[in-house]
Chain A
Amino acid sequence: MSQQMQPDSHTAKVSLRETYGKTLVELGKQDKNIIVLDADLSPSTMTCFFAQEFPDRFFDCGLAEQNMISIAAGLAASGKTVFASTFAVFAACRCFDQVRICLSQTGLNVKVVATHGGITVGEDGLSHQAIEDLSLYCALPGFTVIVPADARETAEAVKAAASTRGPFYIRLSRIKAPIIYPEGYAFTVGKAITLREGNDVSIVATGIMVFKALEAAEALAEHGINCRVLDIHTIKPLDEETVAKAAAETGAIVVAEEHLAQGGLGSRVAQVLARTKPVPVEFVNLGDRYALSGKADELLQEYGLTARDIEKAAKIVVKRK
C-alpha cells in the first residue's frame, strides 16, 4: 500500500493515550470478554475511561506491575482478552520475568499497552523514560510489538490486538502526535506502510519519528533527494519483504526511532538487510545513553531525534551509496 502523504505543520495533534482509552471503551461494548488492568496509572494511561464505563471488568492492581502481569495471565488462561496498562518504562523493566514466564512462552492472550514511551515523557526524566522497551519486548518469542505513529494508527493497532490471539506490546507516547492517516485506512499487523514513494533513499521509521520522517523527506525533496518513507508500526514481526525491497530499490536506508541504538528497530532492520540486501544504513536514535529532564521538544532536539537529524542522516547515507 502506498499513500502519498504531505506533512502539514498545521495538522491537528491528537493524543494517542486518549484514543487508546476511547478505543478500549468501544471494544468493551462489543466484547464482554475484554478485561482491563492497570497499576495505579489509569488517569494517565487513559484506561480510566474503561473503568468508568465497565467498573466490573476493570481491576486496579495497585503499584504492583509484577502482580498485574501475572493476574493478566490467570485471566487470559481462563479465556479472557486482557489489556494491561502502565507506563512503558515499568511495563518493560519492572515485570520482565513475569512477562517472559507468564505471557511470552505461554502465548496467552494479554495485550500490554504501555504509554509514556520514549524520552518524550519529558520532565520526569530517566526513571520514566522508556528507551529500552522495544529491545526487551522484541527479545521475547511470540510477542507482537507495535509502535503506532498517530492516533488513528493507535485505534487500529488496539483493535487488531483485541481480535488477534497472543501477547502484544503496544507502545504509545505521552505527547500528542500529528494525524498522518485518514480515517478507515488499511492497517494490517506486520505490514509496513509506504507513506511516500522515492528511489534515492528510504527512511524507515516508527512511532512519533514517522511524521518527522515525512517532514525530512519534504525538505530533502527540495534538495533533489527523493525519499521513500516507511511506517514500520509493527517492529515484530518485521515486514522483512518491504524493508528488503526498499533497500533494493533505493540503495540506502535511514532508520529513525525514539529508542536506544541497541535492540530496537535499527538492530532489527540491520539484521534483515545483512541477510537480504546489504546497503548503507544510517541510524537516528538516542545512541547509547540516558537522557535528562526537559520538555519533549527540547529533548528531541538535544538527543538528535528531529526531522533535521533524519535529513542529515539521509544526506550522509546517500553519499555512501
Chain B
Amino acid sequence: METSAQKVNQFDLFVPQLEQMSKRLRRHVINMIATASSGHPGGSLSAADIVTALYFKILKHDPHNPQWEERDRFILSKGHAAPILYAALAECGYFPIEELATFRKLGSRLQGHTDRTFTPGVEMSAGSLGMGLSCAIGFALCARLDSRKYKTYVLLGDGECDEGQVWEAALSASQFKLDNLVAIVDYNQIQLSGRTQDIMCLDPFAKKWQAFGWHTVEIDGHDFDQIISALQEVKAIKGKPSVIIARTIKGKGVSFMENNVAFHGKPPSPEETDKALKELE
C-alpha cells in the first residue's frame, strides 16, 4: 500500500524551511543534552544540516510505518550524534517530541548512543565507532539481492575514520560496486581530544576515498543547496559507491561551541544553555 507521499520525501521542504527546521533540531539537541546533563553537542550540531536535508528533503521514508520495505535506509555511524537523529525522528513523527526530554535517562527509548532495538526509525545500533559503513553495505547488498530501489545512506565522523574498519568497508563497498550506497562524512576536523590534523591527520582525505574506488564529492556541509545537489547528483553514479565529504564546523550554530574541542562531549551549563538557545532563536 504505497502512497504517493512515499515516492518522494513526504516533507520535501524548501531551503528556507530547511534552515528553520535545522534550527529547531539544534534547539532540541541543546535541550536534550542540557536536560540529560550529558551527551555530545559538538558533533550533533555539525551534522544538523546534513541530517535535516536527509530527513526533510531526500530520504523516502514513512514515520508512520518505520519498517516500510522500500524506505531509504539511514545509518548514523557516529552514534554519539544520537541527539540530532532523535530530534529529526521526533520532528518527523516517529515518536512524540516530548520524549526527547527522556534522552539518556533510565528507562528511555532514547539511549545515549543509537540503539535499533529501542528507537523507532533507528536502523542500526552504534556508539562504538567504525561499524556503520559495514552495516550499510549489508543493507545495500540486500537491496540488490531483493531488486529493491532503496538507497542506503550512512553518516560518519571524520575522527571515526581513524578506525581501520572504515577502510575495510571502503574497500569492500567498492569491490561490490555498490552504487546504491552513499556515505557522508561530517568533516568537522575535530575529534575528542583535539584537531584531527594533530591527532591523526586524514589528508588528503578525498584522494583516499578516490583511491579506494569511490565517487567523491566535496561540499560545504552547512549549505543546503550544496548538500541537496550533492545528494541528488550521486544518485546517478553507476558502478561505484559515492562519498560526500561535507566540510562542517563542530558546534555549528552556537558561537561558543563552534570549533571548540571542549564541547565534543560536554553538556552546556544552565547559563550556556540559555545563551545557546537564544542564539538559535
Contact = CB atoms under 8 A, between A and B. Distances in A.
B168 A74 contact: no
Nearest to A72: B138
B244 interface: no
Contact of B168 (A67, A75, A78, A105): A67
B141 interface: yes
Nearest to B148: A78
Nearest to A74: B138
A73 B124 CA distance: 9
A71 B125 contact: no
Given A62-B171, A74-B139, A106-B117, A101 B125 contact: yes
Interface centre among B131, B137, B176 (most CB of A within 10 A): B131
A228 to B, nearest CB: 41
A79 interface: yes
Interface stretch (A53-61, A216-224, A249-257, A271-279): A53-61
B168 A62 contact: yes
Given A62-B175, A66-B134, A101-B127, 11 more contacts: A59-B141, A64-B169, A66-B165, A70-B134, A71-B172, A73-B124, A73-B134, A74-B139, A78-B138, A101-B128, A106-B116
Contacts of B137: 67, 70-71, 74
A97 interface: yes
The 3 closest A-B pairs by CB, nearest first: A74-B138, A70-B134, A78-B142
Interface string A74-91: 111111100000000000
Interface residues of B, number: 32
Interface string B131-150: 11011111111110110000
Nearest to A35: B145
A71 B168 CA distance: 11
Contact of A77 (B126, B135, B175): B135
Contact of A71 (B126, B134, B146): B134
A101 B139 contact: no
Contact of A70 (B127, B131, B164, B175): B131
B281 to A, nearest CB: 38
Interface centre among B128, B168, B171 (most CB of A within 10 A): B168
Contacts of B172: 61-62, 64, 67, 71
B137 to A, nearest CB: 5
A270 interface: no
A71 B134 CA distance: 5
Contact of B125 (A72, A75, A76, A105): A105
Contacts of A77: 116, 123-124, 135, 138-139
Interface residue SS majority, chain B: helix
Contacts, number: 101
A78 B171 contact: no
Interface residue SS majority, chain A: helix
Interface centre among B115, B132, B134 (most CB of A within 10 A): B134
A97 B131 CA distance: 9
27 contacts: A35-B145, A57-B145, A59-B141, A61-B168, A62-B168, A62-B171, A64-B169, A67-B169, A67-B172, A68-B134, A70-B134, A70-B165, A71-B137, A73-B124, A73-B134, A74-B137, A75-B138, A75-B139, A76-B138, A77-B123, A77-B138, A79-B142, A80-B145, A100-B128, A101-B125, A102-B135, A106-B117
A61 B115 CA distance: 25
Given A56-B145, A101-B127, A74 B175 contact: no
B165 A74 contact: no
Interface residues of A, number: 30
Given A80-B142, A101-B125, A101-B127, A74 B134 contact: yes
Nearest to A67: B168
Interface centre among A59, A71, A75, A98 (most CB of B within 10 A): A71
A66 B168 contact: yes
A117 interface: no
Contacts of B126: 101
B165 to A, nearest CB: 4
A64 B171 contact: yes
A266 interface: no
B143 to A, nearest CB: 8
A107 interface: yes
A210 B214 CA distance: 51
Interface string B161-175: 000110011011001
Contacts of A67: 134, 137, 165, 168-169, 172
A3 to B, nearest CB: 40
B141 A64 contact: no
A102 B77 CA distance: 12
Contacts of B116: 77, 106
